[in-house]
Amino acid sequence: MAGGSWSDYTYDPPFDTTLVNLPGIRDPRELALVEKFTVALRVRDLHAGDIAYPAYGDVESLRNLHLALYQDLYGHAGELRTVEVGVEHRDRIATVAEVRPVLEAACALAGDPAWHRMDPEDFAWRAGEVHALVEYAHPFVIGNGVTSREFLADVVSVGPYSLDVAAMGWPSGPLAVSAVSRETDGTYRAYPGPGVAVAIHRALSVDGEALQAARDRAELAPTREVLAAVGDPGSVQVFADRRAVEDQWWRDRVWAKQGRTAPGISR
């Protein structure tokens, strides 16, 4: 569906508060109930492994996730937002032009291979940064909260951590307790509010053996600081090369998930 105006996404008056939907429901309250039930079934299938969506780890991953969750209701499922949000939300939600670069920033953080070196507190804060960026991007006309939480849970699940989104007890107004700034180089940086980070930390569980195994592999080489202290530039380079190899090993293990071959949005 082409965007540009909210009227492209809603019915004509007097039903202009209802999003155009595949079942043809005009009553917004009825649509909300149907959406809640339908999406809950899709989330259940996702958690059970009965839904697979391709292109994991990038913006297309988010689009395909949204498509998987909302395809039963909206023809624009999986499409990035092309309409601006209301003026009252402009300080907390990205403009249309910012949507993709902000999502790319979130995916870059999610794809950082250094996650396996973090303790649960630091890991929760990094996850909070990813969440804050996706929420700020607000990439879809509907379903941003569900999609961002499920994306975050899936990002977490590939490592030694898991995240129970139902147990997070999300603080009210997560957008209001997070901030995003545009840096001078054009990149975006997230500042998640402590409530979000605490909620994520509370819902994390850790596979201690898997975490230790990952750290053992990553820390085989001595630290750069120690090598630099002995004044051996060659050893420092050996360390840097080895760390790059280890990070690539982790990146391949984390992001090359199996079973993501279901048809979806073409790249």
Beta-ladder partners of 179: 191
pTM here is: 0.77
Higher pLDDT, 2 or 168: 168
For the segment 24-49, the average pLDDT, to the nearest whole number, is: 93
Cα–Cα distance for residue pair 155/257, rounded to 1 Å: 11
Residue 170 has pLDDT above 60, yes or no: yes
Residue 219 has pLDDT above 90, yes or no: no
Tens of pLDDT, residue by residue over 110-125, are 877 666 667 788 888 8
Residue 69 has pLDDT above 80, yes or no: yes
The confidence score (pLDDT) of residue 103 equals 95
The confidence score (pLDDT) of residue 221 equals 41
Tens of pLDDT, residue by residue over 125-166, are 888 889 899 989 999 999 998 998 888 888 777 667 788 888
Cα–Cα distance for residue pair 267/96, rounded to 1 Å: 20
Tens of pLDDT, residue by residue over 192-207, are 877 787 888 888 888 7
DSSP secondary structure of 241-261: HHHHHHHHHHHHHHH--SS--
DSSP secondary structure of the chain: ---SSGGGTBPSTTSTTSB--TT----HHHHHHHHHHHHHHHHHHHHHT----SSTTSHHHHHHHHHHHHTTT-TTTTPPP-SPPPGGGTTTS--HHHHHHHHHHHHHHHT-GGGGG--HHHHHHHHHHHHHHHHHH--SSS-HHHHHHHHHHHHHHTTTEEE-GGGS-PPS-GGGG-EEEE-TTS-EEEE--HHHHHHHHHHEEE-HHHHHHHHHHHTSSPPHHHHHHTT-HHHHHHHHHHHHHHHHHHHHHHH--SS--S-----
The answer to whether 151 and 134 have CB atoms below 8 angstroms apart is yes
Higher pLDDT, 36 or 208: 36
For the segment 70-74, the average pLDDT, to the nearest whole number, is: 95
Listed range (36-50, 151-165, 184-198) with the worst mean pLDDT: 151-165
